[in-house]
Amino acid sequence: MSFEVQQPGILSLLLDGGRFGQHGIGLTTGGPADREAYAWANRLLGNDPNATAVEVSFGGLVLTAQNDGWICITGAELPFTIDGEEAPAWTTVAVRKGQEIALGYATAGCRAYLAVAGGFDVVHQFGSSATVVREGIGGLNGGPLRAGDTLPCASGNVATPCRLATEHQPRYTDELTLRLIPGYQQAHFSPGEQARLFHAEYVVGERCDRMGYRLEGAAIGCDIQGILSEGICLGAVQIPADGQPIVLLQDRQTIGGYPKMGSVLSLDCAALAQLRPGARVRFTPVTMEEAHNALHLAAFRFRHTPVEALA
């Protein structure tokens, strides 16, 4: 099975769960910006949790099916049609050879996921199919999808077509509170500067992408301007010289030398990646124990949230 790309959209990337264990050679993790939506697309199709899907930023992707199969769209709210007829998201949907699958432009959130039964069949590089454009690695050619690309798929079928009920689907808004786990460099920020961060409201700036989100608002002062470059984790909140926080995401650099207040909980990084410029953001501190509890509860909720079989 395969799909042909008729229109690639603004930014559409082939990716799996991410490229782990390669920071030592300078390769970042990559993977889905919204891991929850990506995971649901694969679960609804009965795929391996790490199956390769397409992340569509803002929309505009148009594909033609070269064979019969099953697909699922999750994530940002956007028009989804098959041969011009509206089709449901968060649902396993049958497609036939020759049909056109079109994703319009997002009206809420900004990243959607298109998965196919069995996953897209892409050669892995350094243990992953995740495309990281800056590094020129992953996907078909190390870059975004292009018109004329053929996307091969592994053989797969759906035993029981199903959907995720509306009440269980995420809601994408323009306001978000990020849970931040303070790090060891917190001591370089005075109590007053820490209070400023946790009481201020920030706006997502124009400079936001899969590498990181630059926020605009109250400047945060630090008693050091830089540190020796060190490894950077998902969600790290860097404070550069201008005091405007930067939350680093999936395509972040592997090392950096700005002081960091701490790291945003990975669950909230996924929600942050659905925000557009102009959205409002706040921070709230959480302990490591609270973060662990939140992750375990989210994993439990995902495993035990029922899906509805389609008649």
Tens-place pLDDT, residues 226-247: 787 889 999 999 999 999 999 9
Please give the Cα distance from 91 to 165 (Å, whole number).
9
Please give the Cα distance from 282 to 197 (Å, whole number).
8
Structure tokens at 276: 């557009």
Res. 311: pLDDT tops 80: no
Q: Enter the CATH code of domain 175-301.
A: 2.40.100.10
pLDDT tier, 112 (very low <50, low <70, confident <90, very high otherwise): very high
Residue type, 127: G
Q: Note the pLDDT tens digit of each residue in 257-275.
A: 899 999 999 999 999 999 9
Domain ranges of the chain: 2-168, 175-301
Q: Note the pLDDT tens digit of each residue in 17-29.
A: 999 999 999 999 9
Average pLDDT, the chain: 95
Give the pLDDT mean for 116-130. Answer: 96
Give the pLDDT mean for 89-101. Answer: 97
Entry pTM: 0.95
Q: Note the pLDDT tens digit of each residue in 183-226.
A: 988 889 999 999 999 999 999 999 999 999 999 999 999 988 77
Long-range CB pairs of 227-234 (<8 Å, 24+ gap) are 227/185, 227/257, 227/258, 227/259, 228/257, 229/255, 229/256, 229/257, 230/255, 230/256, 230/257, 231/23, 231/255, 232/256, 232/260, 233/263, 234/29, 234/263, 234/266, 234/269
Give the pLDDT mean for 124-145. Answer: 96
Q: Note the pLDDT tens digit of each residue in 36-83.
A: 999 999 999 999 999 999 999 999 999 999 999 999 999 999 999 999
Give the pLDDT mean for 146-154. Answer: 95
pLDDT reported for residue 18: 97
